[in-house]
Structure 1
Amino acid sequence: MFKKILLPTDGSETAQRAALAAIDLAGRYGATLEIVSVIDPVPFMYFPDGGAEAMAYYMDAAEAAAKVGLDGAASRAKAAGVPYNSHVLREHGPAQAITEHAGSSGCELIVMGSHGRRGLDAVLLGSVAQKVLTLATMPVLVVK
Protein backbone atom coordinates (compact mmCIF):
# COMPACT_ATOMS: atom_id res chain seq x y z
CA MET A 1 0.00 0.00 0.00
CA PHE A 2 2.71 2.50 0.97
CA LYS A 3 6.14 2.43 -0.69
CA LYS A 4 7.50 5.64 0.82
CA ILE A 5 6.55 7.28 4.13
CA LEU A 6 7.60 10.76 5.23
CA LEU A 7 8.48 11.26 8.89
CA PRO A 8 9.07 14.89 9.90
CA THR A 9 10.85 15.13 13.25
CA ASP A 10 11.85 17.83 15.67
CA GLY A 11 13.24 15.34 18.19
CA SER A 12 10.37 15.91 20.62
CA GLU A 13 8.61 13.16 22.55
CA THR A 14 5.65 13.26 20.18
CA ALA A 15 7.97 13.07 17.17
CA GLN A 16 9.61 10.02 18.73
CA ARG A 17 6.21 8.36 19.13
CA ALA A 18 5.43 9.21 15.51
CA ALA A 19 8.78 7.64 14.53
CA LEU A 20 7.77 4.36 16.17
CA ALA A 21 4.46 4.36 14.26
CA ALA A 22 6.15 5.27 10.96
CA ILE A 23 8.81 2.59 11.39
CA ASP A 24 6.16 0.00 12.21
CA LEU A 25 4.14 0.92 9.12
CA ALA A 26 7.23 0.98 6.91
CA GLY A 27 8.23 -2.45 8.17
CA ARG A 28 4.76 -3.88 7.56
CA TYR A 29 4.51 -2.48 4.03
CA GLY A 30 8.14 -2.85 3.00
CA ALA A 31 8.31 0.91 2.60
CA THR A 32 11.25 3.29 2.69
CA LEU A 33 11.19 5.95 5.38
CA GLU A 34 11.98 9.53 4.38
CA ILE A 35 13.04 11.31 7.60
CA VAL A 36 13.19 15.12 7.59
CA SER A 37 13.81 17.92 10.02
CA VAL A 38 12.97 21.49 9.01
CA ILE A 39 15.03 24.49 10.02
CA ASP A 40 13.34 27.83 9.38
CA PRO A 41 16.07 30.49 8.88
CA VAL A 42 13.62 33.38 8.69
CA PRO A 43 13.36 34.42 12.39
CA PHE A 44 16.67 36.30 12.27
CA MET A 45 16.73 37.35 8.64
CA TYR A 46 15.73 40.95 9.20
CA PHE A 47 17.58 41.78 12.40
CA PRO A 48 19.55 45.03 12.24
CA ASP A 49 23.04 45.27 13.84
CA GLY A 50 24.03 42.00 15.43
CA GLY A 51 21.64 39.98 13.31
CA ALA A 52 24.41 37.89 11.79
CA GLU A 53 25.60 36.82 15.24
CA ALA A 54 22.06 35.95 16.40
CA MET A 55 21.42 34.09 13.14
CA ALA A 56 24.64 32.06 13.51
CA TYR A 57 23.74 31.12 17.09
CA TYR A 58 20.19 30.16 16.07
CA MET A 59 21.35 28.11 13.07
CA ASP A 60 23.97 26.25 15.15
CA ALA A 61 21.35 25.35 17.77
CA ALA A 62 18.79 24.42 15.10
CA GLU A 63 21.29 22.23 13.21
CA ALA A 64 22.22 20.43 16.46
CA ALA A 65 18.55 19.84 17.33
CA ALA A 66 17.82 18.60 13.81
CA LYS A 67 20.74 16.16 14.03
CA VAL A 68 19.44 14.75 17.32
CA GLY A 69 15.96 14.21 15.86
CA LEU A 70 17.24 12.71 12.61
CA ASP A 71 19.81 10.47 14.30
CA GLY A 72 17.24 9.16 16.80
CA ALA A 73 14.72 8.23 14.11
CA ALA A 74 17.43 6.83 11.82
CA SER A 75 18.87 4.59 14.53
CA ARG A 76 15.39 3.20 15.29
CA ALA A 77 14.74 2.58 11.59
CA LYS A 78 18.12 0.88 11.17
CA ALA A 79 17.50 -1.34 14.22
CA ALA A 80 14.14 -2.38 12.73
CA GLY A 81 15.70 -3.11 9.33
CA VAL A 82 13.69 -0.34 7.65
CA PRO A 83 15.45 1.46 4.78
CA TYR A 84 15.57 5.22 5.21
CA ASN A 85 16.90 8.50 3.86
CA SER A 86 17.32 11.56 6.07
CA HIS A 87 17.46 15.23 5.19
CA VAL A 88 17.61 18.62 6.85
CA LEU A 89 15.35 21.06 5.01
CA ARG A 90 16.33 24.70 5.41
CA GLU A 91 13.12 26.39 4.36
CA HIS A 92 10.75 29.07 5.57
CA GLY A 93 7.47 27.56 6.69
CA PRO A 94 7.90 24.04 8.09
CA ALA A 95 4.47 22.81 6.96
CA GLN A 96 5.06 23.97 3.39
CA ALA A 97 8.55 22.42 3.36
CA ILE A 98 7.18 19.11 4.70
CA THR A 99 4.37 18.85 2.17
CA GLU A 100 6.53 19.94 -0.76
CA HIS A 101 9.22 17.40 0.16
CA ALA A 102 6.60 14.68 0.54
CA GLY A 103 5.32 15.39 -2.95
CA SER A 104 8.69 15.79 -4.65
CA SER A 105 10.12 12.64 -3.08
CA GLY A 106 7.08 10.49 -3.96
CA CYS A 107 5.82 9.86 -0.43
CA GLU A 108 2.34 8.37 -0.16
CA LEU A 109 1.89 8.98 3.59
CA ILE A 110 3.08 11.52 6.15
CA VAL A 111 3.37 10.32 9.75
CA MET A 112 4.01 13.12 12.23
CA GLY A 113 3.65 14.02 15.86
CA SER A 114 1.46 16.76 17.26
CA HIS A 115 2.05 18.63 20.47
CA GLY A 116 -1.70 19.14 20.78
CA ARG A 117 -1.50 22.87 21.40
CA ARG A 118 -4.79 24.56 22.11
CA GLY A 119 -6.03 28.02 22.94
CA LEU A 120 -3.49 30.83 23.09
CA ASP A 121 -0.53 28.47 22.59
CA ALA A 122 -2.01 27.33 19.27
CA VAL A 123 -2.60 30.94 18.22
CA LEU A 124 0.89 32.13 19.21
CA LEU A 125 2.97 29.07 18.29
CA GLY A 126 0.82 27.67 15.52
CA SER A 127 0.37 24.04 14.71
CA VAL A 128 2.61 22.55 12.07
CA ALA A 129 0.50 19.36 12.09
CA GLN A 130 -2.68 21.36 11.43
CA LYS A 131 -1.04 23.22 8.56
CA VAL A 132 0.30 19.97 7.07
CA LEU A 133 -3.21 18.50 7.25
CA THR A 134 -4.45 21.52 5.30
CA LEU A 135 -1.69 21.51 2.67
CA ALA A 136 -1.03 17.80 2.12
CA THR A 137 -2.34 16.02 -0.96
CA MET A 138 -1.64 12.59 0.55
CA PRO A 139 -2.88 10.94 3.76
CA VAL A 140 -1.47 12.25 7.04
CA LEU A 141 -1.32 10.20 10.23
CA VAL A 142 -1.01 12.44 13.29
CA VAL A 143 0.37 10.82 16.44
CA LYS A 144 -0.25 12.44 19.83
Structure 2
Amino acid sequence: MFKKILLPTDGSETARRAALVAADMAGRYGAALEIVSVIDPLPFVYFPDGSTEAMALYLEAAESAAKLGLVAAEAAAKAAGVACVSHILREHGPAQAITEHALSSGCDLIVMGSHGRRGLDAVILGSVAQKVLTLAKVPVLVVK
Protein backbone atom coordinates (compact mmCIF):
# COMPACT_ATOMS: atom_id res chain seq x y z
CA MET A 1 0.00 0.00 0.00
CA PHE A 2 2.69 2.53 1.01
CA LYS A 3 6.16 2.45 -0.48
CA LYS A 4 7.83 5.43 1.18
CA ILE A 5 6.76 7.08 4.43
CA LEU A 6 7.93 10.53 5.52
CA LEU A 7 8.31 11.11 9.25
CA PRO A 8 8.91 14.73 10.27
CA THR A 9 10.24 15.04 13.81
CA ASP A 10 10.88 17.87 16.23
CA GLY A 11 12.09 15.57 18.99
CA SER A 12 8.94 16.05 21.09
CA GLU A 13 7.00 13.30 22.84
CA THR A 14 4.31 13.38 20.15
CA ALA A 15 7.00 13.07 17.47
CA ARG A 16 8.37 10.01 19.31
CA ARG A 17 4.90 8.43 19.31
CA ALA A 18 4.58 9.22 15.60
CA ALA A 19 7.98 7.57 15.03
CA LEU A 20 6.71 4.34 16.60
CA VAL A 21 3.61 4.40 14.37
CA ALA A 22 5.60 5.24 11.22
CA ALA A 23 8.19 2.54 11.91
CA ASP A 24 5.46 -0.03 12.57
CA MET A 25 3.65 0.91 9.35
CA ALA A 26 6.87 0.83 7.33
CA GLY A 27 7.58 -2.65 8.67
CA ARG A 28 4.07 -3.91 7.93
CA TYR A 29 4.01 -2.54 4.38
CA GLY A 30 7.68 -3.09 3.54
CA ALA A 31 7.99 0.64 3.01
CA ALA A 32 11.07 2.81 3.17
CA LEU A 33 11.14 5.34 6.02
CA GLU A 34 12.46 8.84 5.49
CA ILE A 35 12.94 11.01 8.58
CA VAL A 36 13.30 14.79 8.50
CA SER A 37 13.78 17.55 11.01
CA VAL A 38 13.33 21.15 9.89
CA ILE A 39 15.45 24.02 11.15
CA ASP A 40 14.31 27.53 10.29
CA PRO A 41 17.60 29.32 9.48
CA LEU A 42 15.99 32.76 9.86
CA PRO A 43 13.67 32.48 12.85
CA PHE A 44 13.74 36.14 13.83
CA VAL A 45 14.42 39.54 12.39
CA TYR A 46 17.98 40.81 12.32
CA PHE A 47 18.90 43.27 15.05
CA PRO A 48 22.28 44.97 14.65
CA ASP A 49 23.47 44.80 18.26
CA GLY A 50 24.56 41.30 19.24
CA SER A 51 22.20 39.42 16.97
CA THR A 52 25.02 37.50 15.32
CA GLU A 53 25.76 35.90 18.66
CA ALA A 54 22.08 35.19 19.31
CA MET A 55 21.70 33.68 15.84
CA ALA A 56 24.75 31.45 16.34
CA LEU A 57 23.38 30.24 19.68
CA TYR A 58 19.97 29.58 18.15
CA LEU A 59 21.43 27.64 15.21
CA GLU A 60 23.64 25.57 17.51
CA ALA A 61 20.69 24.69 19.76
CA ALA A 62 18.41 24.00 16.78
CA GLU A 63 20.98 21.73 15.15
CA SER A 64 21.47 19.82 18.40
CA ALA A 65 17.71 19.41 18.94
CA ALA A 66 17.24 18.27 15.34
CA LYS A 67 19.95 15.63 15.69
CA LEU A 68 18.44 14.34 18.95
CA GLY A 69 15.03 14.08 17.27
CA LEU A 70 16.52 12.17 14.36
CA VAL A 71 18.39 9.80 16.67
CA ALA A 72 15.18 8.99 18.57
CA ALA A 73 13.26 8.36 15.34
CA GLU A 74 16.10 6.25 13.94
CA ALA A 75 16.02 4.14 17.12
CA ALA A 76 12.30 3.49 16.60
CA ALA A 77 13.00 2.42 13.01
CA LYS A 78 15.84 0.15 14.11
CA ALA A 79 13.68 -1.46 16.81
CA ALA A 80 11.05 -2.22 14.14
CA GLY A 81 13.68 -3.60 11.78
CA VAL A 82 13.11 -0.83 9.25
CA ALA A 83 15.86 0.85 7.29
CA CYS A 84 15.67 4.63 7.22
CA VAL A 85 17.29 7.73 5.80
CA SER A 86 17.48 10.96 7.81
CA HIS A 87 17.82 14.59 6.76
CA ILE A 88 18.00 17.97 8.42
CA LEU A 89 16.18 20.50 6.26
CA ARG A 90 17.20 24.12 6.62
CA GLU A 91 14.16 25.95 5.32
CA HIS A 92 11.93 28.80 6.40
CA GLY A 93 8.48 27.40 7.14
CA PRO A 94 8.51 23.80 8.38
CA ALA A 95 5.12 22.82 6.89
CA GLN A 96 6.11 23.88 3.40
CA ALA A 97 9.53 22.22 3.75
CA ILE A 98 7.87 18.97 4.86
CA THR A 99 5.31 18.89 2.06
CA GLU A 100 7.86 19.85 -0.60
CA HIS A 101 10.25 17.17 0.66
CA ALA A 102 7.45 14.59 0.55
CA LEU A 103 6.86 15.40 -3.12
CA SER A 104 10.51 15.65 -4.17
CA SER A 105 11.43 12.35 -2.47
CA GLY A 106 8.43 10.41 -3.73
CA CYS A 107 6.85 9.80 -0.34
CA ASP A 108 3.28 8.53 -0.49
CA LEU A 109 2.39 9.07 3.19
CA ILE A 110 3.37 11.56 5.90
CA VAL A 111 3.13 10.38 9.52
CA MET A 112 3.62 13.14 12.06
CA GLY A 113 2.85 14.09 15.63
CA SER A 114 0.65 16.94 16.72
CA HIS A 115 0.90 18.82 19.98
CA GLY A 116 -2.83 19.46 19.83
CA ARG A 117 -2.49 23.15 20.58
CA ARG A 118 -5.74 24.99 21.04
CA GLY A 119 -6.94 28.49 21.66
CA LEU A 120 -4.37 31.24 21.93
CA ASP A 121 -1.41 28.81 21.73
CA ALA A 122 -2.64 27.62 18.34
CA VAL A 123 -3.07 31.20 17.13
CA ILE A 124 0.34 32.38 18.37
CA LEU A 125 2.44 29.26 17.78
CA GLY A 126 0.52 27.88 14.83
CA SER A 127 0.12 24.24 14.06
CA VAL A 128 2.63 22.66 11.75
CA ALA A 129 0.43 19.56 11.50
CA GLN A 130 -2.57 21.66 10.46
CA LYS A 131 -0.51 23.44 7.81
CA VAL A 132 0.87 20.14 6.51
CA LEU A 133 -2.69 18.78 6.27
CA THR A 134 -3.61 21.83 4.20
CA LEU A 135 -0.56 21.79 1.91
CA ALA A 136 0.13 18.07 1.46
CA LYS A 137 -0.52 16.34 -1.85
CA VAL A 138 -0.28 12.92 -0.15
CA PRO A 139 -2.20 11.42 2.79
CA VAL A 140 -1.19 12.60 6.26
CA LEU A 141 -1.60 10.53 9.42
CA VAL A 142 -1.52 12.70 12.53
CA VAL A 143 -0.55 11.03 15.81
CA LYS A 144 -1.53 12.69 19.09
TM-score range, shorter chain: over 0.9
Rounded Cα–Cα distance in structure 1 between residues aligned with 2:50 and 2:104: 36
Residue 13 (1) aligns with residue 13 (2): yes
What is the identity, as a one-letter code, of the residue corresponding to 1:140?
Answer: V
Deviations 1:56-82 (A, max 9, x none): 000000001001100011122122210
Residue 31 (structure 1) aligns with: 31
Residue 83 (structure 1) aligns with: 83
Identity %: 81
**Deviation (angstroms), 1:48:** 1.9
**Deviation (angstroms), 1:44:** 3.5
Residue 132 (structure 1) aligns with: 132
Q: Residue 66 of structure 1: SS of its match in structure 2? A: helix
What is the identity, as a one-letter code, of the residue corresponding to 2:59?
Answer: M
Rounded Cα–Cα distance in structure 2 between residues aligned with 1:70 and 1:44: 24
Q: Which moved more, 1:50-59 or 1:40-49?
A: 40-49
Q: Is the contact between residue 45 and residue 55 of structure 1 (CA under 8 Å) also seen in structure 2?
A: no
Rounded Cα–Cα distance in structure 2 between residues aligned with 1:100 and 1:46: 27
**Deviation (angstroms), 1:45:** 4.8
Query: TM-score normalised to the size of structure 1?
Result: 0.97
What is the identity, as a one-letter code, of the residue corresponding to 1:70?
Answer: L
Q: Residue 103 of structure 1: SS of its match in structure 2? A: helix
Runs of 4+ in 1 over 3 A off after TM superposition: none
Over aligned residues, Cα RMSD in angstroms? 0.8
